[in-house]
Structure formats: C-alpha cells, structure tokens
Structure 1
Amino acid sequence: MKALAAAAVLAVLALVSVFVGVSDVSLDTLFGAGADGRAAQIVLASRVPRTLALLLAGMSLAVAGMIMQMLVRNRFVEPSTAGTTESAGLGILAVMLVAPQTPVFGKMLVASAFAMAGTALFLRILKAVPLRSVLVVPLIGIMLGGVVNAVTTFIAYRFELLQSLNAWTTGDFSGVLRGRYELLWLSAGLTALTYAAAHRLTVAGLGEDFSTNLGLGYRRVLAFGMAVVSMVTAAVVVTVGMIPFLGLVVPNVVSLAMGDNMRRSLPWVAMLGAGLVLACDIVGRLVRYPYEIPIGTMMGVVGSGLFLYLLLGRRRQLG
C-alpha cells in the first residue's frame, strides 16, 4: 500500500513537471478546440524528455550513493563527497582538450575512467588514515574533491575553457531535449543490475573479513560497485551536470525507516531520489518564474542543509 502511494506521488510530480514551464502547455492547448500542435510538439520534444531525465538521474544517483555508503561503511559518503563527481568533471575537461569532437558516449567512458580513478584514490587515502571516524571520512572526500576541482578549474582557466566546463558540469535540466538525454537509460540499466546484486552488496557492506568468511569475493563485489558508481556519475555529469548531496541524503532517510537490507530498501531509494529531484526542479522553475534556478543550485541548498542536519544528529549520538 505504501509503495502504491509513493508511486502515485511520483506520478503526480512527473505530471506537474510536464505542464510547468514558460511555454503555454495545458489540457486546452493540447486537446482543446484551438489546439494547433505546437503544445504537443513542446511536450514531446522538451517536457517529456526533461521529466524522464529527472526521473532517471534522481533514481540512479540516489542508488549510486547507497552503493558507496554500503561499501565504504559510512553514511556520509556519496559521489559528491568522495571526489567521484569532481574526477568525472576532470575527465570531461581532458576530452575537451585532447579530442573535443568525441561523441557523448566516448566522453562518458573517459569520465567514467577518471571517476573510478578518483574513487580508488579516495579509498587508498582512507586506508592510509589511522583515524576513520564517521565524521572524518566525508571530510577527507570533500577535501579531495576540492583539490581535484581546483586542478580542473586551473587547467580550464589556462586554456580558456571555463565557460565550456561550467556548461558541462553545472546541474541544469533546461537544455534537455529529445535526443540529448538517452544516455541516462544506461544508468537505469545499471540500477537494475544493482538490484540483482543487492544481496552481495549488502554482505560486502559488513566488511571484508566477514564477507570472505561467507565465501563472497569481496574485491570483485567492491570493483563492481565502484564501476557502477563511476559510470552512473559520469552519465549524469555528461548529460545534465553535477547534482550534489542527492546520493547522501536519500539513502540516509530510507535507512532510518527501513534499515540496511539493500534488496528491500533499494526501490524506495530510487523512488525517493527521483521524487526529490523532480520536486526541486519544479520549485526551481516556479521560484523566479519565468526564469529558472538550476537543479544543481536547488539541490546544493536543500542537500547541504539536510547534510548538516544528519551530520550534527550523528555527532550528538556519538557524544
């Protein structure tokens, strides 16, 4: 019953997303006596692709954050607090410098490789840090991401590519059109693959020693999880830019209500992630109508506030 209610809320948000915007799209302009086909063209070419992109990006990024939290065993880790997103941005810049005519899928593959390298560096740094409290780990990731972002910005500045880089990395769905978002369906496929491997990821989240005693190939599962996170992050960054804190907030909220069984909670993480992105995008379109606030800004404000709330709440528990 709860799942049906959540699906209904998600469907309502998706429907609202289709009808919200500067162009006049309503039931009357679509099916009324004065319908001329222009509204239908806008819906098919822009509104529906944008809504699907919001659903796919929100769902896949939330699940990616859940994977990272399970494997790193820390509730405050996700692609934007582990250097993964910033590393994907560095990969996009490398493609812009070396082979600017590379197709979008090629950009995604390069960004995935850089994202995986950045994540591996983050895990390597964690092994070298003697103190791994619940609060230190995300701070290490944020500092690593800051360093990578500084290097990326410096290189982009030297080669006069700052505007191009911002266009690629700033989270914004306003430019999504039919034919420019389909790469996100790959993220949906990776999310489905994650659901199939949910039990293995749940066991791996208990630690290497425990997983090995149960006969699970811990390193293979770790490599699989990090590959999924890197490819999802790269696909989202290449298509719509960076969406911060989504993979941190949503899994924490679901975990508080449902626990850590990934097979049980993953559908809820996917639905809540998609719903949160849809809601933030709708609000961003309405706050300064007819102008629009990018989703990266909206999620930065909402996500950072929720992140601080979760962080301070966990600190009170530890204290």
Structure 2
Amino acid sequence: MTTTTDRRDGAAPPRVRRRRGVQRWHVTAALAALVLAAAASLFVGVGDLTPADVLDLDEAQARVLWASRVPRLLAILLAGSAMAVAGLVMMHLTRNRFVSPQTAGTTEWVGLGIVVATLWAGGTSVFGKMVVGVVFALVGTALFVWLLQRLVLTDVVVVPLVGILLGGVVSAATTFLAYRHDLLQTVDVWMNGDFSGVLAGRYELLWLVLAATVVAYLWADRFSVAGMGEGFAVNLGLPYTRVVMLGLAIASVVTAVVVVSVGSIPFLGLVVPNLVTLAMGDNLRRVLPVTALTGAAFVLVCDVLARTIRHPYEVPVGMVGGVVGGVLFVWLLLRARRRVA
C-alpha cells in the first residue's frame, strides 16, 4: 500500500507506474516505426538513390529527392496523422469506437462532391473541388449524426453499419452519375489512395490539414466534455452544439483535403484511434499526439509495402491499407462483441 509520504513525494501506485510504462513503450514504438518507415520511404523506389548518395547528390538524384521523395514523405505524414486525428475526434463526439470518416459515409460524400464539381465546372481547380468536397462532407456527416440521434440502437456495432449503408447509397449515386457522364475512371483516380503522383507543387493543400489538427488539439478538452453527452456538457457551461459542429467540420475538412489530394485510405481513421486508445486510455489531449504519430507511421508502412511488393511497379497504398485495416477492423469488432457478451 502506498503511504502518505510516498504520495507527497510524488510516488505513484504500482498499477499506475505499470500503465505509464506501457504508455511510454507505445509512444517509443510509434516513434521508432515512424523514423524507420520515413527513412525507408526516402530511399525506396524506382529511382536509384541510397543513403550514401545523399552526401554527394548529382543533379538527377537531387531532383528525385527534392521533387519526389521528400514531398511524398511530407504528404504521407500530413495525410496519415490528420485522418487518424479526424477519426479520433469523430469517435469521441459520437461516443462510438466504430465511427470514423470511412464508416460514417464522409468519404463517399466527398466523392459525390468531386463528381458534382467536375460536372458543374469541369475546369475548376483542385482547390475548387476541395471546397465542394468539404461542403458535401459537412452535409453528409451532419445527416449521419442526425440519423444517430433519432435511431434507438442497442448494439455498438450497428452504428457503423448505419454509416456504411448510408455511404453505400451515396457511393451508388456517385457511380451512377459518373457512369452517365463517362467519369468512372476519373472517380477511381480521385478516390483510390495513391501517393505515386505526389510531386512538389501538387501536395501543398495538405498543409491545411495540419492547421485542422492543431485546432483539434487546442479544443481537445472541449471535445472530451462534449463526448460525455449534451446534458453533461450543458451543465458545465459548454456550448455543446458549437463544439460538435466544430469537431464535425474538422473531420470533414480533413477528409475532403486528403481525398482530393491523395485519395481515400480505408480504415485509417478507424483502426489507429482504437488501437491507441486501447493502449493509452480515452484522455483525448494525451492520446491525440500519439494518434497522429501512429497514423503517420501506419500510412508510411503501407506505402513502403506498396512500393516493394511488386518492385519496380507500385501497388496503390489504399489497397494495402484496406487489407491491413480490414483485418484489424474485424479483430476490433470481434473484441467488442466478446466484451458485450
């Protein structure tokens, strides 16, 4: 038993010390995976570039490094960390571990927005498509939350199924419009996660998601309180509706920017927040930075695998992420059902 003197001296109970040790181990593991995968990302590819070459780059190697490899690495870090944080915020606001931009239909609404923007103004810029995608994502996410508030759901697994069904309907509408106007290949290019086309000058919109991630961190305590329910938040004087709308706006902006820039990466915003919170608890401010690091590491590892599976050819990173994330998603579902049972 911990004595009063021990507590005054700052000593923690053994269980707390063990938990803190586990948390530090997870942070260290995420950082190590991130650093190793980042190093591999810079030197894996068709272009001949090794760590030794960095000390004496010729013109061609410098072009490969600064015009392709470094922008690609930055795009992966920004997209992976931001999508993981967006999933974490949605999970807290809806009080359901299986809600994310992918399972709430947000990604499919962005795809519909891209098709509408292409049909409405085919010559619009990527930024214009992003704005339309953000608007559609906001509407779709708000519709999903509205449905949750009016449905009586007794099983935690049913909630993401509602989002998946809603996303399926939206995806069907997108496919219909694309088929009627010969845009199926365009939709496939926009929606399939792939970093092979990332070059200097073609990824800078992703810096917007860094700003959204910073806002999410600054408002983390408010999101935590809002996640405890409207009645609890209002009693504490929190503007519940405003906080929820800001959280949904962050998730929508991040999803739209990432999909427009590099495509959709399945299950990223779902499995990463769940794995981190299972290891570190539900304190949003504490787990948010680790979630961002783990999301970036997850995408980096998937990207390196995508470039090495059929080298010198490249598999879309969305395909690799879908396989890995799908397996983890099934494991999380089975784990949740066992705990309920």
> What TM-score bracket applies, with the shorter chain setting the length?
over 0.9
Q: Pairwise mapping of residues 283-294 of structure 1 onto structure 2 (< 5 A)? A: 283-294=305-316
Match of 2:221 in 1: 199
In structure 2, what is the Cα distance between the partners aligned to 1:286 and 1:195?
35
Q: Shift of residue 164 of structure 1?
A: 1.0
Q: 2:50 aligns with which of 26, 47, 54?
A: 26
- CA-to-partner distance for each residue in 1:60-86, whole Å, 9 max, x for gaps? 000000011001110001001001000
Tell me what 1:231 maps to. Answer: 253
Q: Secondary structure at the match of 1:290?
A: coil
Q: Which residue number corresponds to residue 213 of structure 1?
A: 235
The residue identity in structure 2 corresponding to 1:273 is G
CA distance in 1, matches of 2:63, 2:325: 34
Partner residue in 2 for 1:13: 37
Render the CA deviation track for 1:143-192: whole Å, top value 9, x for unaligned: 11111001000100000011111111111000000011111110011101
Check the 8 A contact 1:60/1:188 in 2, yes or no: yes
- Residue 7 (structure 1) shift: 2.9
After TM superposition, list the pairs within 5 Å mapping 1:247-286 onto structure 2: 247-286=269-308
User: CA–CA distance in 2 between the matches of 1:107 and 1:49?
Assistant: 21
**Superposed displacement of residue 106, structure 1:** 1.6
CA contact under 8 A between 1:59 and 1:270: conserved in structure 2? yes
Out of 84, 97, 100, the residue aligned to residue 75 of structure 1 is: 97
| Partner Cα distance (1:164, 1:316) in 2 | 42
- TM-score, structure 1 length as denominator? 0.97
Partners of 1:248 and 1:169 in 2: CA distance: 18
Residue type at the aligned position of 1:175: G
Of 279, 291, 297 in structure 1, the residue corresponding to residue 319 of structure 2 is 297
Q: What secondary structure, in the 3-state scheme, does the structure 2 residue paired with 1:221 have?
A: helix
Q: What is the 5 A alignment of 1:73-112?
A: 73-112=95-134
The offset of 1:9, in angstroms, is 3.4
Q: Provide the rounded CA distance (Å) in 1 between the counterparts of 2:194 and 2:262.
A: 6
| 1:63 and 1:191 in contact (8 A); partners too | yes
Give per-residue Cα distances to partners, 1:121-151, cap 9 Å, x unaligned: 1112212222242011000000111110010
For structure 1, which segment, 7-16 or 263-272, has the greater mean C-alpha deviation from structure 2 after superposition?
A: 7-16
Aligned position for 1:312: 334
Q: Distance in 1 between matches of 2:73 and 2:271?
A: 21
User: What's the offset of the Cα at 1:8?
Assistant: 4.1
1:105 deviates by 1.5
User: Aligned residue for 2:179?
Assistant: 157
TM-score w.r.t. length of structure 2 = 0.90
Distance 1:318 1:184 in 2: 39
SS at match of 2:97: coil
Structure 1 runs (4+) deviating above 6 angstroms are none
Q: State the partner residue of 1:173.
A: 195
Q: What is the correspondence of 1:117-156 to structure 2 with a 5 Å cutoff?
A: 117-156=139-178
Three-state SS of the structure 1 residue aligned to 2:204 is coil
User: Structure 1 residues 88, 229: CA separation in 2 closer, same or farther (over 3 Å shift)?
Assistant: same
RMSD: 1.2
Specify whether residues 27 and 256 from structure 1 end up closer, same or farther in structure 2 by C-alpha distance, changes over 3 A only.
Answer: closer
1: CA distance, partners of 2:187 / 2:161: 25
Q: Give me the whole-angstrom Cα distance separating, in 1, the residues matched to 2:201 and 2:218.
A: 29
Can you list the C-alpha shifts for 1:46-70, whole angstroms capped at 9, x where unaligned?
0000011000000000000001100
Q: In 1, are the aligned partners of 2:30 and 2:297 still within 8 Å (CA)?
A: no
Q: Which runs of 5+ in 1 are unaligned?
A: none
Name which one, 1 or 2, has greater alpha-carbon Rg: 2
- Aligned partners of 2:146 and 2:211: how far apart in 1? 29
State the identity %.
56
Give the distance between the partners of 2:273 and 2:153, measured in 1 at CA: 24
Amino acid in the other structure paired with 1:200: R
The 2-side partners of 1:141 and 1:13 are apart by: 32
- Residue type at the aligned position of 2:49: V
Q: Write the distance in 1 (CA, Å) between the matches of 2:88 and 2:306.
A: 25
Superposed CA offset, 1:5-61 (max 9, x none):
6434312211110100011011344435xx532111101000000011000000000
